[in-house]
Amino acid sequence: MQTEGKGKGAPLCQVGAKSYADVTPGKKRLRDDTASPGGGDCGSALSCEQSLGEGAACHSHDVRKELDVDKTDRPDVGARVGLLRGTAPHALPPSTSGTVTFLYSLAQLRELFCAPSLQDSSSSVAMRDHRLNPGESVIVIVCMDEAEIKNLVQDSTREYSSCRIFCVNLSCFSVEGRSDCPHRPAGTPGYGGGGMGGVSVDLESQQKHALKEVYRVLGVTGVRDPSQSSVTLSPPSEIRNTDAKGTEGNEDGRVTTTKGPAFHNSAEPGSVDDERGATQEVLTHPFMVLWRAPGALPDECVDQCGDGTVNKEPGTIAPGGPLLVKHLTSVEHLHSLSLFTPVYTVEHLIRTIARKLDSVPVASALSCSYTLVYFGASWCPPCMRAVASLPDMIKSDFPESIECMVKADMDFATPIFKFFEVEIIPVFMILNNNVLRVADGWSEVLNDYNQVDRTKGVAMAALSDVLLRSEVGRIQNSSRASVRAFIDKLTKKLSFDADF
């Protein structure tokens, strides 16, 4: 897939401040780094040719369309259901298996995504271990019942994912009666007292209203699946951008968003109504949301207009929010985003590698080690074929000397694509970590600071040059056998050379 002259992909949230890694030691890192900034424009996207032979490449072609979430709201149903407000006293605590955590109430979802910056002081005991790190990217899967995700969250997902995954199964959400209806005053028939009154609330209605609340908490007002449709994203809670632009139709009937700010206009906080009416198509479930917490460093954020410009303005702060909303139809769609640590700018890539190397034992640091960078996109068929093999590759093909595995997504990591001049995907690239370790300024990368001043900017620029020199090789191929042979040849050869 050629990147020259392409649109940069889905609109993203911009955030600023500090980003931390949360690393699980061991050969198969569950998480190399949790921060990932946004980038990309609101314009055209890339698609792929349908030639799916081994090693096939993707080429640019716009296929995005827009589907808006149904905004119908029924204040006469569900207002007394604890499902809507997530306050049921008997909700189960979150349960975690590997990198996958199941949430059982809207209160748990709100506590994680409504105000993650306040979690240090306000998190409940049950949620404290699950709170988001500044700038962390996580994946939220929303489904209506367990059967929908039975084959979408596998053992390999739990074991090898670098991003944390939160599953929201609406059929498991707790329900209770309430008298503090947010839509109607107390005393309205069917809303007072303490019982269910005259309101009959079936499970389908409960789930429908809970789903709308999930939309609101996550800031989702539409769907962006670059392989099928476009996106409408909005900031969560009270944050809104009033300068967002509309959409325009193409001659072939497709609809793409015009170039503009990352956030589409949203309804009033807590409301699920807007001016577009109640006839719009509903987002199909199960779906997943790639969600970014606030708090990343300014230079780890890409300009909202998606022209590949890195945001380096000191003190830049923006809310967390959704980077991508996508129908989830296969485990490969999930693994395309979850298996490798996402990186979006050159600065972010350097810090991700530095944090990972800083966490390895001293003995390992003395030996030669490598970073594997995967350039791909979840809407690219050759890339998805490679993704289908990744769990087995991580388990069996990748040597111990690969200390860090990251992904530069074509929709989100334009600066990295430009930096390494990658124009066709999928591409696997190997970097020599030892070249980076001995570079001047490497020890300063992990310094705790909230903005990029002149001195640190100069150090990062020098490290960028070293990053280019650290490249050992790259291969543009989707065949597992070809990629495995490429990795074996370079890492074994270099490990042998390093002994002399």
369 to each of 441, 468, 485, 492, how far by Cα in Å?
Answer: 19, 16, 18, 11
Work out the percent of the chain whose per-residue pLDDT is above 90: 28
Higher-confidence residue of 97 and 59: namely 97
Whole-number Å distance between alpha carbons of 59 and 8: 14
Model pLDDT, residue 78: 34
For the chain, the domains span 92-115+130-173+283-302+317-330, 340-495
pLDDT (mean) for 92-102: 91
E strand intervals along 396-462: 402-409, 427-432
- For residue 286, give both structure tokens: 């199960």
Quote the CA–CA distance of 197 and 199 in Å, as a whole number: 6
In Å, what is the CA distance from 384 to each residue of 100, 307, 378, 483?
22, 26, 6, 14
For residue 404, give the 3-state DSSP assignment.
strand
8 Å CB contact between 25 and 315:
no
Q: Is the pLDDT of residue 301 over 80?
A: no
pLDDT at 390: 96
Whether 92-115+130-173+283-302+317-330 shares its CATH topology with 340-495 is answered yes
Find the length of the chain: 500
Calculate the average pLDDT of the chain.
67
Q: In terms of pLDDT, which residue wins out, 73 or 129?
A: 129
pLDDT in tens, 230-267: 334 444 433 223 233 333 333 332 222 222 223 222 33
Judge whether 252 and 270 are in contact, CB under 8 Å.
no
Average pLDDT over residues 314-336: 80
Strand (E) or helix (H) holding 381: helix 381-392
Please give the CATH topology (third level) of the domain spanning 340-495: Glutaredoxin (3.40.30)
* Lowest mean per-residue pLDDT among 34-48, 98-112, 121-135: 34-48
Say how far apart CA 227 and CA 258 lie, in whole Å. Answer: 18
What pLDDT does 101 receive?
94
Going by pLDDT thresholds of 50, 70 and 90, the confidence category of residue 335 is very high
- Please enumerate in sequence order all residues whose Cβ is within 8 A of that of 470, keeping only pairs 6 or more positions apart, or say none: 431, 432, 433, 435, 436
The predicted-structure confidence for 416-452, as pLDDT tens digits, reads as follows 999 999 999 999 999 999 999 888 878 777 665 444 4
Three-state SS string over 289-335 comes to: EEEECCCCCHHHEECCCCCCCEECCCCCCCCCEEEEEEECCCHHHHH
Domain 92-115+130-173+283-302+317-330: give its CATH code: 3.40.30
Please give the pLDDT value at position 446.
67
pLDDT at 313: 59
Query: CA–CA separation, 500 vs 485, rounded Å?
Result: 23
Whole-number pLDDT of residue 48? 40
Cα(460)–Cα(447) distance, integer angstroms? 12
The pLDDT of residue 69 is 37
% residues pLDDT > 70 (the chain): 52
**What is the pLDDT averaged over residues 61-80?**
34
Give the count of beta carbons closer than 10 Å to the beta carbon of residue 340.
27
Q: What pLDDT is attached to residue 314?
A: 54
Exposure string of 184-216, with b = 16+ CB inside 10 Å and e = fewer, is eeeeeebbeeeeeeebebeeebbbbbbbbbbbb
DSSP 8-class letter at 231: -
| pLDDT for 275 beyond 70 | no
Distance (Å, whole) CA 40 – CA 302: 7
What is the Cα–Cα distance from 216 to 272, expressed in whole angstroms? 7
pLDDT digits (tens, 9 = 90+) for 390-410: 999 999 999 989 999 999 999
The tens digit of pLDDT for each residue in 9-51 reads 333 333 333 333 343 434 444 444 444 333 333 333 333 433 3
Helix-, strand-, coil-residue percentages of the chain, each rounded to 5: 30, 15, 55
**pLDDT at position 293 over 80:** yes
pLDDT band at residue 462 using 50, 70 and 90 as cut-offs: confident
Q: Given CA atoms 152, 157, 162, 168 in this order, what sign does their dihedral have?
A: positive
Q: Between residues 431 and 53, which one has the greater pLDDT?
A: 431
Q: What is the pLDDT of residues 132-173, one digit of tens each?
A: 888 888 999 998 888 888 888 999 999 999 999 999 988 887
- Token pair for 112: 């994680």
